[in-house]
Amino acid sequence: MSEKIYALLLRLFPVRFRKVYAEEALQLFRDRSRDEKGFFPGLRLWFDLLADLAVSIPREYRHAEPSLVGASALHPMDGIPEFQLLETESPRPGTLFSGTILSLATFAAVSILIVHGGSSRPAPFWNSQAGHPNSARSTTSRTSSRQRSGNDQEKIMTPDGPTRDISSIETGDVQAGSVQSKHASAPDKAGLDQSSLVHAERPKPIDAAERKRVIDAAASNLKQYYFDRDVAQKAAEALKAHEASGDENAATDGEALAALLTGQMREVSHDTHLVMEYSRATLREHRSEPTAGELARYRTTLKDNNCFFEKVETLPHNIGYLKLNSFPDISECHATATASMAALNHADAIIFDLRDNTGGSPSMVSLIASYLFDHPEYMFNPRETPSQNSWTRSPVPGNRLADKPVYVLTSGSTWSGAEQFSYDLKMLKRATLVGETTRGGAHAGVFHRIDDHFGMGIPEAKIVNPFGNADWEGTGVEPDVKVKAGDALATAERLAANKLTRK
Amino acid sequence: MPKRKLDPLPSAAFQILLSLAEEDLHGYAIMRQVEEQTGGRMRLGPGTLYGSIQSLLEEKFIEEIDLGDDIKTGQERRRYYRLTASGRRLARAEAERLADLLRVARAKKILRGDYV
């Protein structure tokens, strides 16, 4: 198809040039499109070709050697001045038609470039927000025993679904105090939350009666839903004990109270997915389906951010580089994921940059991992009982990455689904982790609404870890090569290059 | 008239001459070689590539050679190009011109360093 278009465009050249070089030019086009497969190389190829046509066609016409017309019919005589006609090639209708196509194609190419040029900027919210959430509210929760988990601006993951941050989708401008929430029965495919925000309000002062109501609800929810009865009992008792000693009296607003309670529960449970949330906006009651508007906004967010596939590049030494800032739902991002992996298929080694990745959908984790194995591999996920989606869909037809060296870059912000990807590849000895110890959040929290403003995330199941008892909950995933996050890429590049040249 | 096409020598034509300095290449290989020797900065499109090749052929700075079908098993028959003696002289003259330019640039302290 594209070859035909190019053949058509070649008709724009003067006949003299075409006769000799059209076939060669087509051959070159075939060679390049064979070697430069994938979306971005393809785009570059066409950009090159169109720029080349724009420059070289006028030049060929300018230099086209005018042929003498009628010269042979004249009988030149010495001494007598004579005129000769120079034929200038006037464009034929076919040429004008091709010219129109060329203009349109150039216009389209420039438009595409403008759109894609914009996508390389960092994600404006959602992940970037959730990835660096140590804003106003988290200070109080640092009273909890572990620094790394001392942050309640977390995404909550359902046992069957991806991480969602409904507040950013809802309002488009996430505030430090807004809440991410998730109802237990939300369908995975919807990719959206059920309890959602109606409108933002100023924080209201909390009185003693409300404090008591929230603490009672938290204690009973813990005992009812938390997977470990023993821990649940202890955490509930801890809440009551703190209440009895009046520890919460200082918390006069909802955010402070939520942070305090989160800290108290974690002190006993050491579970970063156990969380109390306060939302300034009203938390809606259970709703079975997200509205069309929410879905549309969710899709727009993904589309605007290229599904958080921030960079797909080939580094020197033919090292493929993918910077992925989330593992978005495959129902929306399957095509982006497969295209990005196809664009890296030629690579001799591959670097996954998860330093700004705060997690997402286990189905996307499995999908991307599928390219790294030649047989179905179990991707352990502490949030989910094993299902068909827990195995990679390996081998992927046409894929050449199954035996290539893999490096995963991690940082202290790498979290949740991104930790699953790192942890599983590390335990399977399929990747070398380079960077910092990750943030350490493994358990899934199912969201339970308490009232209009309070709700809590509670892990309801504990999944057996095939690699041993401890996963990365609270401790994070240790890198194989420990360097500062800022140096991780350079280090991984060096490791990969060394490995490739040794071969 | 066509002579003007190579005077002054366009950088694409100069790069093509350089790419052929060590071995005979076909069009696509020239393109790759130029891309490599310019560190990826110059990727010659077919129009520029064959336009330049045409001019260089007309001025006999390069020549076409026929390697026959036996090498490429018939299906991908390509034209190979070879640098002629005058082409080599031209490339050398151009390189010397650039070297002169470089010396001026250094003298005016635009560029540092002792030698070309």
pLDDT single digits (tens) B28-85: 999 999 999 988 888 888 888 998 998 899 889 999 987 655 454 445 567 889 999 9
**Phi, psi (rounded to 5 degrees) for B43:** -110, 110
Q: Which residues of A touch B25 (CB under 8 A)?
A: none
Q: Where are the domains of chain A?
A: 2-117, 308-441+476-502
**Across the interface, which of B4, B5, B79 has its CB nearest the CB of A24?**
B79
Provide the shortest C-alpha distance from residue A114 to chain B (in Å). 21
Q: Which residues of A touch B48 (CB under 8 A)?
A: 52, 55-56
The whole-angstrom separation of Cα A119 and Cα A311 is: 9
Check B1 against A63: CB less than 8 A apart.
yes
Q: Which residue of B has its CA nearest to A50?
A: B45
* ipTM of predicted assembly, 2 dp: 0.81
Q: Which residues of B touch A21 (CB under 8 A)?
A: 46, 50, 53-54
Q: B86 touching A, CB under 8 A?
A: no
pLDDT score of A434: 96
Question: Looking at chain A from residue 61 to 80, which residues have their Cβ under 8 Å from any Cβ of chain B?
Answer: 63, 65
Cα distances (Å, whole numbers) of residue A148 to A139, A154, A268, A443, A445: 12, 12, 15, 15, 17
Cβ pair A88, A66 in contact under 8 A: yes
Structure tokens at A125: 């919210």
A104: number of Cβ within 10 Å? 10
- Grouping H, G, I as helix, E, B as strand and the rest as coil, residue B14 is helix
Which of A75, A268, A295, A259 shows the shortest CA–CA distance to A176? A259
pLDDT score of A87: 53
The whole-angstrom separation of Cα A176 and Cα A140 is: 13
Structure tokens at A216: 């009672």
The whole-angstrom separation of Cα A283 and Cα A272 is: 22
The whole-angstrom separation of Cα B75 and Cα A471 is: 58
The pairs formed by B99-104 with CB atoms below 8 angstroms and a separation of 24 or more are none
Q: Strand pairing partners for A69?
A: A85
Cβ pair A434, A232 in contact under 8 A: no
List all residues 6 or more positions away from A172 whose beta carbon is below 8 Å from its beta carbon: A125, A297
DSSP state of A414: -
**Phi, psi (rounded to 5 degrees) for A371:** -75, -10
Q: Which residue of B has its CA nearest to A25?
A: B46
A11: number of Cβ within 10 Å? 16
Which of A314, A410, A430 shows the shortest CA–CA distance to A368? A430
The whole-angstrom separation of Cα B107 and Cα A501 is: 41
Q: Give the Cα-Cα-Cα angle A255, A259, A261 (nearest 5 degrees).
A: 115
The whole-angstrom separation of Cα A272 and Cα A133 is: 14
- Please determine, looking at this structure, whether the domain spanning A308-441+476-502 carries the CATH number 2.30.40.10: no
List all residues 6 or more positions away from B12 whose beta carbon is below 8 Å from its beta carbon: B34, B42, B44, B48, B49, B52
The three state secondary structure string of A242-301 is HHHCCHHHHCCEHHHHHHHHHHHHHHHHCCCCCEEEECCCCECCCCCCCCHHHHHHHHHH
Q: Which residue of A has its CA nearest to B54?
A: A17
A254 burial type by CB count under 10 A (0-12 exposed, 13-18 middle, 19+ buried): buried
Give mean pLDDT in consecutive 10-residue pieces for chain A, a chain of 503 residues: 85 85 87 85 88 86 58 51 58 80 91 70 37 34 34 37 36 35 36 40 72 91 89 91 84 86 88 81 70 81 88 93 92 91 94 92 92 93 83 91 95 91 94 93 76 86 78 87 94 93 78
Q: Strand pairing partners for B25?
A: B81
Q: A49 touching B, CB under 8 A?
A: yes
Place of tokens 């299902």: A387
